[in-house]
Amino acid sequence: MRLEEFDYHLPEELIAQEPCEVRDQARMMVVSRKTGGIENKVFHDLPEFLNKGDVLVINDSKVISARLIGEKASGGRIEILLLKKHDDASPGETWEVLLRPAKRTRVGTKIFFHDGSQARVEERIGDRKWLITFSTDIAFDQFLHQYGKAPLPPYIKRRGDCVTDRNDIERYQTVYASTPGSVAAPTAGLHFSRNILNTLEGQGVQIASVTLHIGYGTFLSLKSGIVEDQVMEEEFFEIGEEAAKMINDGERVIAVGTTSTRVLETASDEEDRIRAKAAFTRLFIYPGYRFKRVGALLTNFHLPRSSLFLLVCAFAGKNLIQKAYQRAIEDCYRFYSYGDCTLIL
């Protein structure tokens, strides 16, 4: 398949720059795979579509404050995006990172922060990735808490030097986030409020937590012209015994987001039962894939040519998703991370 088949034009004004004022008041497009029907709803209507015995699978990964601003010795500003911690014997914290701008960065370059902390560039490990080691006077988690910013995707703009709004640290995070490790939010979960979760549990819907730590690559557009030639970056996931049993014993499985979907599909065995495990996944789902455990999918509107867009096309069919996205554009839905969502039944 050609990647260009999964392109579409989105007016820039439909890219959401701020979250919905109230989490569960975002718009929700309900799409039926069976009938091809499309219905406009609001997220707080979600309980209408779920039944007793359903299992809602959420990703409890917590976004770390992975964006840091420092200065080179020359005084030039440099932005750091943490990607993955490296476990090694060197003193300090060594991380795989993206640097911007990186044009004049060299091995040995030092980056300085306002509190006196430093980072040293150790190695270039790819076209865009570097290894750097931090030296901080306080615990690194505390350093991130004080000086890190929410790792907003590049299509969300903030004025001037403000990389994140004060509200982003709270809102670019699900209400149930509990396991730190992601550098991007599992955005379908951003719509949930405690009230919605309580309502669902009250009507007999079970909620199973899994973990997938989202890397930066999840939200990148794919590069190669041939879909089958794409290679996904690996991401760590974990699903426990309790969650696996709940999913296996439940009736319909509703995955909250593409990340929960990839956990479920990776953890399914030959008999399509979920096995508890902790591992890394590179699972790339595109049209032609046979889904094993996911019966319904709640997800946001995704970037064209992205692995996430291909996943929803695989789940609902390319023609139906293209129809739904065109309808969403005509009806001025808000797109991407802070945008509205779709419930595909």
Task: Give 264-314 pLDDT, tens digit per residue.
Answer: 999 999 899 999 999 999 999 999 999 999 999 999 999 999 999 999 999
- pLDDT tens per residue across span 40-55: 999 999 999 999 999 9
Mean pLDDT of the chain: 93
- For residue 114, what pLDDT is reported? 87
**Fold that domain 3-63+169-344 belongs to in CATH:** QueA-like (3.40.1780)
- For residue 22, what pLDDT is reported? 96
Domain boundaries, the chain: 3-63+169-344, 67-147
Q: What is the mean pLDDT of residues 170-188?
A: 96
- pLDDT tens per residue across span 89-116: 556 789 999 998 887 889 999 999 988 9
Say how many C-beta atoms besides its own lie within 10 A of residue 86's C-beta.
14
DSSP H or E stretch at residue 207: strand 206-212
What class has domain 67-147?
Answer: mainly beta
- Between CA 109 and CA 200 the distance in angstroms is 52
- Give the CA distances from residue 75 to residues 110, 147, 187, in Å, rounded to whole numbers and listed in that order: 11, 18, 36
